[in-house]
Copies of this chain bind each other. A is one copy, B any other.
Amino acid sequence: MPEMPNPEFLRRAIALATQNVVRGEGGPFGAVVVRAGKIVGEGANAVTATNDPTAHGEIVAMRAAAQALGTFTLAGCELYSSCEPCPMCLAAAYWARLDAIYYGACAADAARAGFDDAILYAEMRKDPAMRTMPSAQLLGEEAWASFAAWLASPNRVDY
């Protein structure tokens, strides 16, 4: 079971979000990753500042934590985010094997501030053919070759 949330870590995430806006460095989102009661990584939205559409506060914080800990898994860690994670950041939290997510503002708040999180959650739920993002499969059989190589690889690192 994850530890009980500590509001002070969330206050730090909120402070990072507000500071990011005041400094003109990006969107109003901040996050910290905590392990055993200590912050091991933090970040704020850096999409426009670094020309990286994936640099949401949570992603920046998770990357920083993984670097600091020298690992690609954050099992045993909790994420504190100033806002409910968007689908990108929520899925990243699963891949990182985080123990829990604690957040301040909700997706509806983000929508009121002009961010698309709620729309994105709706898109995720749709059948691919019904999404606003066009997508199509091709070369399905050829593409299996990469997985065949993976399954046959003697020195693969599972993750």
Which residue of B82, B147, B155 contacts A146 across the interface (Cβ within 8 Å)? B82
Query: Are B134 and A101 touching (Cβ within 8 A)?
Result: yes
> Ordered nearest first, which 9 A-B pairs have the shortest CB separation?
A104-B143, A88-B91, A17-B146, A113-B147, A28-B150, A53-B96, A28-B146, A105-B143, A87-B91
A window 43-102: CB within 8 A of B: 47-48, 51-54, 56, 59, 62-63, 66-67, 70-74, 82-84, 86-88, 90-102
The count of residues in chain A whose C-beta lies closer than 8 Å to any C-beta of chain B is 90
Show 23 A/B contacts (Cβ-Cβ < 8 Å), sorted by A. Answer: A2-B134, A10-B138, A14-B142, A14-B146, A24-B157, A27-B150, A28-B149, A28-B150, A53-B66, A53-B95, A54-B63, A54-B96, A56-B95, A87-B124, A88-B91, A101-B133, A102-B137, A103-B136, A103-B137, A103-B138, A109-B143, A110-B147, A124-B125
A positions within 8 Å CB-CB of B: 2, 5, 7, 10-11, 14, 17-18, 21-22, 24, 26-30, 47-48, 51-54, 56, 59, 62-63, 66-67, 70-74, 82-84, 86-88, 90-106, 109-110, 112-114, 116, 120-121, 123-125, 133-140, 142-147, 149-151, 153, 155-159
A82 to B150, CA, bound (A): 13
Copies in the complex: 2
> Which residues from chain B contact A120 at a C-beta distance below 8 Å?
91, 94
Task: State whether A27 touches B159 (Cβ < 8 A).
Answer: yes
